[in-house]
């Protein structure tokens, strides 16, 4: 089992300002399975992805991702989990503007303590794999949107994560570039038998790229269909 | 994350904000500069004082004088205080009487007798004891007697040998020779250069008058210059002093006053006593007075205006042949100590014997304390300047954390642990301290050269003294202190911003941007 969420609640604020972003969500995802989280804006899909990626902690409920019980991990272990077990791809790329493409890809490996020579070689291979072998030393402001997202994909996959979490990765891209980027992600998932959780509101993309669709409405699972 | 990566990452972050980094570093630089300059001048001035004081033997000399001390075994409880007074005042007076105070209390005089000189010579760390004999004598060259002052000295000091203008200095401490001052020679009529050359080898008779055998009164003429006193005048005044006791009836005195004086004075004698000791010494040389420049450096030369100098042991033998002076001891003696660092120990031992002492070490220590206080104040100002710049650093880094929230969020999302982010900001702070501190040190060191030249020229112009060595000192210790302090201050200043950085919520940081 790659992911198991049991009665996960995420509540923000208190009293009148209380917002229940997730209301007792329970899901199970097998190793190598490709799952889409579908829902409107504010349905809680990004919140669930953040919890699965260890960026946030649930208000209650249990979470097990890639063999780790997230509620039992210390801050330091959680950081290690983020840099090695999961790879997160954001809609807005989230590259560090002052760093070159290769340095951005190196980032998780730096925090994981890999040697400079080792991580530079891995980052170069990852960038070549996404077709950016000639743009390694370019900074994000010198790259197009598609190229930036490919750098972000390379960064997320460079450490060969067991679970890939993609939060609307094609949301800011044209359809052709979006296909290229999804193709890169799926290639990695197939090649390494990784688990994919794709957050999107694009029904077609979900159908094309995943084998199971979980629909979220107001923080609850409305449907879970293959 | 490796330390090397931390360092590179922090350097890159500082490089991104060149202007802000430069301004922050500039604040640290000035603080470090003032701190380094203050410490360096303090060290240099202390060394200069030590160096100047150590010229020759002056710093290793302790001059010992006779003194008073409470009589051994005197019991404070046995001292009775008359009159009605408060208990506190009675206690103070009783204690003063018990301590002696040199005024009829239970105190005894500790003289520099020959026994005590031997004790002093045997003290640990005393390499040599130099007895100093001085006083008034009557010196007769041929048939011309003259009142003269005499000092003792072997003339072994190379500086003194330069003062010899004719003849030679002493070759032994006990030779029966005498040196004449150029002015004394002139006073007794040796005016021409040829006279000076002829006097070498001639005998000089020195007569010592015992104060015990002298008259009860001392008579001198007010306003007479030294040069105007001749032996005849001195003898006339001495005759007058002898005759005063017999003439007490002629003065307008009350009965009480007369009876007090009659009780106090020695029994009148019909004739003046002859000199207690008299002997002949061979004139071996003439010495000149110190020049103005030499006088500035002279810490313990012969008293200015000494007419005659006898070899040390010869002078001691002459003075101790007089029973009264033997009992009274010498006016002072100089102890030459093996090392300046042992002077304090010797001084303590001398004072434990009941004697009084003087050494320039105390003066030097007082001077050093003064400068230590001044530069201590300057160092505090520098420390405050650094602390103020630390506030600037804290503010700048806090702004940096706020501006880099997104970057911090990204780093957290890809696996940065809280401690790694904290370390990143602390290293940034430490680098600012290191660069600012090192630059401040370098600036202080660079400025020390023209600064030293300026101070030297000022001292040379105003005080006619050529300082040896620099008044700035940069031992490794100062560099380490400055760097340790600046890095410490900047790292402490970065603590709060670093903590804030580690607490950035990645979800919020990424969502808001």
DSSP codes, A47-68: HHHHHHTTSS--SEEEEEETTE
Q: How far apart are CA A114 and CA B375, in angstroms?
A: 50
| Minimum-distance CB partner of B415 among A56, A80, A90 | A80
Model confidence over B10-43: pLDDT tens digits? 888 888 888 888 988 998 898 899 889 988 988 8
- Estimate the crossing angle of helix B360-403 against helix B343-352, to 10 degrees: 130
Q: Is the pLDDT of residue B304 over 80?
A: no
Q: Is the pLDDT of residue B210 over 70?
A: no
Cβ–Cβ gap B417/A111 under 8 Å: yes
Mean pLDDT for B401-410 is 89
Mean pLDDT for B181-189 is 88
User: What is the chain B residue with the closest CA to A83?
Assistant: B415
- Selection from A20, A18, A17, A11 nearest residue A59 by Cα: A11
Q: How far apart are CA B261 and CA B217, in angstroms?
A: 11
Q: How far apart are CA B313 and CA B132, in angstroms?
A: 10
Q: How far apart are CA A168 and CA A186, in angstroms?
A: 14
Q: Is residue A106 part of a domain?
A: yes
- Selection from A94, A95, A76, A86 nearest residue A188 by Cα: A86
Other Cβ atoms less than 10 A from the Cβ of B339: the count is 11
Q: Is residue A18 part of a domain?
A: no
Q: How far apart are CA B329 and CA B319, in angstroms?
A: 9
Q: Is the pLDDT of residue B102 over 50?
A: no
The confidence score (pLDDT) of residue A11 equals 92
Which SS3 state, helix, strand or coil, does residue B438 take?
helix
Contacts of B410 in chain A (CB under 8 A): 94-96, 107
Which SS3 state, helix, strand or coil, does residue A118 take?
helix
Cβ–Cβ gap A116/B9 under 8 Å: no
Mean pLDDT for A154-172 is 89
Q: Is residue A24 part of a domain?
A: no
The confidence score (pLDDT) of residue B350 equals 92
Mean pLDDT for A73-95 is 90
The confidence score (pLDDT) of residue B156 equals 63
Q: Which of B2-16, B264-278, B411-425 has the highest mean pLDDT?
A: B411-425
Higher pLDDT, B145 or A204: A204
Helices marked H in A85-225 — which ranges?
101-111, 116-129, 145-157, 175-192, 203-209
Q: How confident is the model at residue B202 (pLDDT cuts 50, 70, 90)?
A: very high
Q: Which residue in this structure is represented by tokens 């005498």?
A: B178
- Selection from B444, B284, B293, B291 nearest residue B378 by Cα: B444
Helices vs strands, H then E, count in chain B: 18, 13
Residue B118 backbone phi and psi in degrees, to 5: -65, -40
Which SS3 state, helix, strand or coil, does residue A181 take?
helix
Q: What is the mean pLDDT of chain A?
A: 90
Mean pLDDT for A120-135 is 89
Contacts of A76 in chain B (CB under 8 A): 417-419
| Minimum-distance CB partner of A55 among B9, B16, B413 | B413
Q: Is residue A89 part of a domain?
A: yes
Range in B221-225, B295-299, B374-378 with the lowest mean pLDDT: B295-299
What is the full DSSP assignment across B127-188? Answer: EEEEEE-EEEEEEEETTEEEEEEEEE-----HHHHTTEEEE---SSTT-SEEEEEHHHHHHT
Q: Which residues contact A63 (CB under 8 A, 6 or more apart)?
A: A4, A5, A6, A8, A51, A52, A69, A70, A71
Mean pLDDT for B433-451 is 93
Give the DSSP H or E segment for B8: helix B3-16
Residue B354 backbone phi and psi in degrees, to 5: 95, 5
Contacts of A83 in chain B (CB under 8 A): 414-416
Q: Which residue in this structure is represented by tokens 């950016």?
A: A132
At A190, list the tokens: 């197939």
CB half-sphere exposure, B363, CA atoms < 13 A: 14
Higher pLDDT, B159 or A81: A81
Which SS3 state, helix, strand or coil, does residue B449 take?
helix
Q: Is residue A113 part of a domain?
A: yes
Q: Is the pLDDT of residue B179 over 90?
A: yes
User: Is A79 in CB contact (< 8 Å) with chain B?
Assistant: yes
At B63, list the tokens: 């001059």
Q: Is residue A165 part of a domain?
A: yes
Domain, as residue range, for A111? 33-56+75-225
The confidence score (pLDDT) of residue B180 equals 92
Determine contact, residues B490/B390, Cβ cutoff 8 Å. yes
The confidence score (pLDDT) of residue A152 equals 92
The confidence score (pLDDT) of residue A30 equals 92
Domains contained in chain A, number:
1
Which SS3 state, helix, strand or coil, does residue B430 take?
helix
Mean pLDDT for B56-61 is 76
Q: For residue B407, give how far its alpha carbon lies from the nearest alpha carbon of chain A (Å).
A: 6
Other Cβ atoms less than 10 A from the Cβ of B510: the count is 22
Other Cβ atoms less than 10 A from the Cβ of B128: the count is 13
Higher pLDDT, B484 or B276: B484
The confidence score (pLDDT) of residue B71 equals 64
- Give me the sign of the Cα torsion angle B137, B138, B141, B146: positive
Q: Is residue A64 part of a domain?
A: no
Q: How far apart are CA B179 and CA B307, in angstroms?
A: 8
Give the DSSP H or E segment for B94: helix B87-99
Tell me which residues of chain A, numbers 16 to 45, contact chain B at a CB-CB cutoff of 8 Å. Answer: none
Cβ–Cβ gap B9/A110 under 8 Å: yes
End-to-end, the C-alpha distance of chain B in Å comes to 26
Q: How far apart are CA B64 and CA B73, in angstroms?
A: 25
**Most A-contacting residue of B415, B416, B513 (CB-CB within 10 A), to test interface:** B415
Helices marked H in B330-417 — which ranges?
343-352, 360-403, 405-413
Chain B residues with a Cβ under 8 Å from any Cβ in chain A: 1-2, 4-5, 9, 12, 16, 406-407, 409-420, 505-507, 510, 513
Mean pLDDT for B331-352 is 88
Cβ–Cβ gap A110/B418 under 8 Å: no
Which SS3 state, helix, strand or coil, does residue B300 take?
coil
Q: Is the pLDDT of residue B72 over 60?
A: no
Cβ–Cβ gap B415/A96 under 8 Å: no
Determine contact, residues B113/B122, Cβ cutoff 8 Å. no
Higher pLDDT, B317 or B52: B317
Q: How far apart are CA B232 and CA B238, in angstroms?
A: 10
Q: Is the pLDDT of residue B267 over 80?
A: no
How many percent of chain A have pLDDT more than 90? 54
The confidence score (pLDDT) of residue B359 equals 84
The confidence score (pLDDT) of residue B513 equals 45
Q: Is the pLDDT of residue A145 over 70?
A: yes
Model confidence over A17-74: pLDDT tens digits? 888 899 999 999 999 999 999 998 888 988 999 999 999 999 999 999 999 999 899 9
Determine contact, residues B90/B81, Cβ cutoff 8 Å. yes
Residue B362 backbone phi and psi in degrees, to 5: -65, -45
Give the DSSP H or E segment for B508: helix B506-512
At B49, list the tokens: 């004082």
Range in A24-28, B72-76, B176-180, B377-381 with the lowest mean pLDDT: B72-76
Ramachandran assignment for B329, one of left (phi > 0), alpha (psi -120 to 50 degrees), beta (any other)? left
Model ipTM? 0.92
Which SS3 state, helix, strand or coil, does residue A163 take?
strand
Mean pLDDT for B121-129 is 91
Determine contact, residues B426/B494, Cβ cutoff 8 Å. yes
Residue A198 backbone phi and psi in degrees, to 5: -110, 115
Q: How many CB pairs under 8 A join A and B?
A: 72
Model confidence over B447-463: pLDDT tens digits? 999 999 998 888 888 87
Q: How confident is the model at residue B230 (pLDDT cuts 50, 70, 90)?
A: low
> Angle B380-B381-B387 (CA atoms, 0-180°, nearest 5)?
90
Q: Is residue A61 part of a domain?
A: no
- Selection from A178, A190, A165, A169 nearest residue A93 by Cα: A169
Mean pLDDT for B484-506 is 91
Q: How far apart are CA A5 and CA A10, in angstroms?
A: 12
- Selection from A150, A149, A153 nearest residue A172 by Cα: A149
Q: What is the dihedral of CA B426, B428, B434, B440, to 10 degrees?
A: -120
Q: How far apart are CA A224 and CA A217, in angstroms?
A: 12
User: Is A11 in CB contact (< 8 Å) with chain B?
Assistant: no
Q: How far apart are CA B245 and CA B254, in angstroms?
A: 15
Q: For residue A179, give how far its alpha carbon lies from the nearest alpha carbon of chain B (Å).
A: 24
Q: Is the pLDDT of residue B3 over 90?
A: no
- Give me the sign of the Cα torsion angle A135, A141, A144, A145: positive
Q: Is the pLDDT of residue A137 over 60?
A: yes
B194, with CB counted inside 10 A (0-12, 13-18, 19+), is exposed
Q: How far apart are CA A70 and CA A77, in angstroms?
A: 9
At B352, list the tokens: 């434990």
Residue B305 backbone phi and psi in degrees, to 5: 90, 10
């Amino acid at each position: 089992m790659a992911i198991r969420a049991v009665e996960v609640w995420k509540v923000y604020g208190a009293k009148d300002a209380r917002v229940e972003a997730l209301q007792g969500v329970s899901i199970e995802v097998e190793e190598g399975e490709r799952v889409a989280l579908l829902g409107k804006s504010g349905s809680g899909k990004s919140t669930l992805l953040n919890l699965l990626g260890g960026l946030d902690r649930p208000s209650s409920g249990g979470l097990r991702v890639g063999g780790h019980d997230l509620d039992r991990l210390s801050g330091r272990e959680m950081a290690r989990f983020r840099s090695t077990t999961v790879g997160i791809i954001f809609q807005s790329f989230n590259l560090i503007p002052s760093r070159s493409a290769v340095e951005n890809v190196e980032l998780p490996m730096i925090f994981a303590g890999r040697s400079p020579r080792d991580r530079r070689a891995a980052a170069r291979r990852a960038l070549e794999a996404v077709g950016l072998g000639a743009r390694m030393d370019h900074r994000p402001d010198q790259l197009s949107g598609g190229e930036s997202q490919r750098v972000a994909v390379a960064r997320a996959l460079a450490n060969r994560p067991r679970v890939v979490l993609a939060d609307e990765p094609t949301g800011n891209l044209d359809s052709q570039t979006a296909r290229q980027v999804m193709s890169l992600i799926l290639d990695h998932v197939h090649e390494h038998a990784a688990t994919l959780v794709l957050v999107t509101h694009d029904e077609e993309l979900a159908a094309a790229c995943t084998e199971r669709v979980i629909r979220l409405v107001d923080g609850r699972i409305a449907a879970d269909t293959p | 994350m490796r330390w090397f990566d931390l360092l590179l990452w922090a350097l890159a972050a500082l490089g991104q904000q060149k202007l802000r980094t430069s301004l922050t570093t500039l604040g640290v630089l000035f603080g470090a500069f003032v701190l380094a300059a203050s410490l360096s001048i303090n060290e240099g001035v202390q060394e200069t004082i030590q160096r100047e004081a150590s010229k020759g033997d002056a710093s290793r000399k302790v001059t010992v004088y006779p003194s008073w001390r409470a009589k051994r075994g005197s019991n404070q409880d046995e001292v009775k205080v008359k009159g009605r007074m408060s208990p506190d005042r009675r206690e103070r007076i009783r204690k003063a009487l018990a301590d002696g105070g040199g005024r009829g209390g239970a105190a005894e005089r500790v003289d520099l007798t020959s026994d005590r000189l031997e004790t002093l010579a045997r003290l640990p760390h005393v390499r040599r004891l130099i007895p100093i004999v001085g006083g008034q004598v009557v010196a007769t060259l041929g048939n011309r007697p003259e009142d003269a002052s005499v000092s003792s000295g072997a003339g072994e000091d190379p500086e003194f040998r330069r003062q010899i203008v004719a003849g030679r200095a002493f070759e032994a401490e006990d030779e029966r020779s005498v040196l004449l001052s150029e002015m004394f020679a002139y006073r007794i009529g040796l005016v021409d250069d040829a006279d000076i050359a002829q006097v070498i080898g001639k005998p000089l008779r020195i007569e010592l008058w015992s104060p015990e055998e002298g008259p009860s009164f001392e008579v001198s003429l007010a306003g007479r210059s030294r040069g105007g006193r001749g032996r005849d005048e001195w003898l006339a005044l001495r005759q007058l002093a002898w005759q005063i006791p017999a003439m007490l009836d002629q003065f307008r005195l009350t009965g009480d006053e007369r009876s007090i004086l009659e009780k106090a004075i020695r029994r009148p004698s019909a004739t003046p006593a002859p000199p207690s000791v008299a002997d002949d010494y061979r004139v071996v040389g003439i010495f000149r007075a110190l020049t103005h420049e030499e006088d500035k450096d002279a810490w313990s030369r012969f008293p200015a205006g000494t007419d005659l100098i006898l070899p040390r042991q010869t002078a001691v033998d002459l003075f101790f042949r007089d029973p009264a002076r033997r009992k009274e001891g010498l006016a002072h003696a100089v102890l030459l100590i093996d090392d300046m660092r042992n002077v304090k120990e010797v001084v303590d031992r001398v004072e434990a014997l009941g004697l009084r002492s003087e050494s320039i070490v105390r003066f030097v220590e007082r001077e050093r304390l003064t400068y230590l206080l001044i530069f201590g104040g300057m160092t505090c100002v520098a420390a405050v300047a650094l602390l103020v710049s630390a506030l600037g650093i804290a503010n700048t880094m806090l702004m940096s954390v706020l501006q880099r929230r997104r970057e911090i969020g990204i780093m957290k999302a890809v696996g940065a642990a809280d401690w790694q982010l904290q370390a990143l900001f602390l290293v940034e702070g430490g680098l600012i301290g290191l660069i600012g501190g090192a630059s401040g040190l370098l600036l202080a060191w660079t400025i020390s050269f023209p600064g030293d030249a300026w101070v030297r020229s000022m001292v040379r112009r105003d005080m006619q003294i050529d300082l040896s060595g620099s008044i700035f000192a940069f031992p490794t210790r100062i560099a380490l202190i400055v760097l340790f302090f600046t890095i410490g201050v900047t790292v402490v200043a970065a603590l709060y911003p670093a903590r804030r950085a580690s607490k950035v919520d990645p979800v919020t940081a990424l969502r808001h941007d």
